[in-house]
């Protein structure tokens, strides 16, 4: 079985893990109701996606 010849330093280990961090969500504003919504998701406030109403929402 193959084994590493030398121990990986903490610096090299952490540099490898530098891309494993959690990322912040980047909400955008719905063009119709101006509420924050995730990209490529239906707006839960007005039910629209790409200018079309997909969900019926209760008003009032």
So where are the chain's domains?
A: 25-60
Residue 57: per-residue pLDDT: 76
Give burial (CB, 10 Å; 0-12/13-18/19+) of 43.
buried
Q: Which of 13, 17, 54 is nearest to 43 (CA)?
A: 54
Q: Which two tokens stand for residue 18?
A: 């530098």
For every one of its 60 residues, what pLDDT tens digit does the chain have, with 9 covering 90 and above?
899 999 999 999 999 999 999 989 899 999 989 999 999 999 988 999 988 888 887 764
- Residue 59 has a pLDDT of 62
The dihedrals phi and psi of 49, each to the nearest 5 degrees, come to -150, 120
Contacts of 30 (CB under 8 A, 6+ apart): 36, 37, 43, 45, 46, 48
Q: According to the model, what pLDDT value does residue 34 have?
A: 92
């Amino acid at each position: 079985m193959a084994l590493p010849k030398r121990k990986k330093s903490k610096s090299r280990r952490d540099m490898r893990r530098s891309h494993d961090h959690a990322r912040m969500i980047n909400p955008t504003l719905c063009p119709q109701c101006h509420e924050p919504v995730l990209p490529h998701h239906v707006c839960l406030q007005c039910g629209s996606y790409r200018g079309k109403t997909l969900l019926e929402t209760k008003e009032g």
